[in-house]
Amino acid sequence: MSTLANGEDGSLIERFADALWMERGLSRNTLQAYQSDLRKLGLWLEASGRPGLLGAKRADLLAFLADQSKNGLKPRSSARLLSCFRQFFQYCVRESLLQKDPSSRVDAPKLGRPLPHSLTESEVVALLDAPLVDDPEGFRDRVMLELLYATGLRVSELVKLQLGQISMNQGLVRIVGKGDKERLVPLGEEALDWLQRFLAGGRQALLGGQISGEVFPTRRGAGMTRQAFWYRIKKHALIAGIVKPLSPHTLRHAFATHLLDHGADLRVVQMLLGHTDLSTTQIYTHVARERLRNLHAKHHPRG
């Protein structure tokens, strides 16, 4: 009779989950995921004619992970499985159920840093053109999108923008970002033109006589929330026919990627984005290289 069928592994998994809940207060969903992963390993060991969980060897864990990978398991999911197994076998060692942890010499898969989703220049144009500018809210959205793409601001920085942070004469916006670090970012002629027109008319139409220091107010005179603007970005993306995954920072990613595409210095991009560490900015060089590879593969006769 199998160890899962006779309850040995099942009881052990339950005790492990209880210990995790007591020690770390993990959520029910997380505990259920851990239990599911361990049951999957136990069933695989059983189907392979190997002993139960307490009899698993390093080679068994490697063979299981390799089998899962062959069936389409992604490296990040494989790393999550291994983390679960390590915690389980360490628990078994602490409880004197095992002398050695078989997972201790199993290397975690290398996880490449995920590339941020960006937009092509034509997709950016389509997104910028999506809001209806004859409507005050659409006009405001268009200007906000223009500023995002022109400056690379974080959405949280954009929605909190105050009139006193903008110098129209110099064409600069002053941002106090993460860690209270201040940076000056140029607006660019196109965004500056849109902003001037909005401040001269569309903004007053939104406020209806109310007084507000917000650059981009709602009709109530308050600033827009990050979540509300993200909802509007998705709405305009749908109108623009953009079906690829978006994030609140999609235009920030596009800003950085397109600057590098057109020859900007990496340290200048770092300064404009407000990154403390250059390595954070370097992810965009990978995006640019990936785009070049895709273009080559698509258009070169031997790509």
- List the CATH number of the domain containing 157: 1.10.443.10
Range 121-129 average pLDDT: 93
Structure tokens at 267: 């340290």
Active site residue 249: yes
Same domain? For 168 and 232 the reply is yes
Catalytic residue among 142, 203, 236, 275: 275
User: Which stretch of 57-66, 108-117, 270-279 has the lowest confidence by average pLDDT?
Assistant: 108-117
Is-catalytic flag, 252? Answer: yes
Query: Is residue 30 pLDDT above 60, yes or no?
Result: yes
pLDDT for residue 2: 47
Helix (H, G, I), strand (E, B), or coil: what is residue 106?
Answer: coil
Residue 289 is predicted with a pLDDT of 57
pLDDT at 6 over 50: no
SS3 220: coil
Let me know whether 167 and 294 are in one domain: yes
Mean pLDDT of 276-283: 66
pLDDT value, residue 115: 53
Q: What pLDDT shows up at residue 260?
A: 80
Q: Are residues 133 and 277 in the same domain?
A: yes
- Pair 89, 125 in one domain: no
Kindly name the residue from 252, 289, 300, 302 that is annotated as catalytic.
252
Helix axes 121-129, 250-261, angle to 10 degrees: 140
Identify whether residues 222 and 158 lie together within a single domain.
Answer: yes
Do 88 and 176 lie in one domain? The reply is no
pLDDT of residue 77 exceeding 70: yes
Residue 189's contacts (CB-CB under 8 Å, 6 or more residues apart) are 171
Q: Which long-range contacts (CB under 8 A, 24 or more apart) does 85-94 make?
A: 85/37, 85/38, 85/41, 85/61, 87/16, 87/20, 87/34, 88/13, 88/16, 88/34, 88/38, 88/53, 89/56, 91/16, 91/19, 91/20, 92/12, 92/16, 92/53, 92/54
Same domain, 88 and 160: no
pLDDT at position 264 is 80
Share of the chain above pLDDT 90, in %: 38
pLDDT tens for residues 186-225? 898 999 999 999 999 889 999 988 998 999 999 888 888 9
pLDDT for position 1: 41
275 tagged catalytic:
yes
Catalytic residue among 140, 203, 249, 253: 249
- Residue 31 lies inside a defined structural domain of this protein: yes
At 85, is the pLDDT very low, low, confident or very high (cuts 50, 70, 90)?
very high
How far, in Å, CA of 247 to CA of 183, rounded?
Answer: 23
Choose the catalytic residue: 34, 91, 149, 284: 284
Residue 110 a catalytic site member? no
Which pLDDT score, from 0 to 100, does residue 27 have? 80
Does residue 224 belong to any structural domain of this protein? yes
Q: For residue 100, indicate whether it is catalytic.
A: no
Residue matched to tokens 């209880």: 18
Q: Domain range for residue 20?
A: 8-94
- In this predicted model, which residue has the larger pLDDT, 140 or 250? 140
Helices (H), the chain: 8-24, 28-47, 58-70, 75-94, 121-129, 136-151, 155-159, 189-197, 203-207, 226-240, 250-261, 266-273, 278-299
Instruction: Mark whether 296 is an active-site residue.
Output: no
- Higher-pLDDT residue of 142, 295: 142
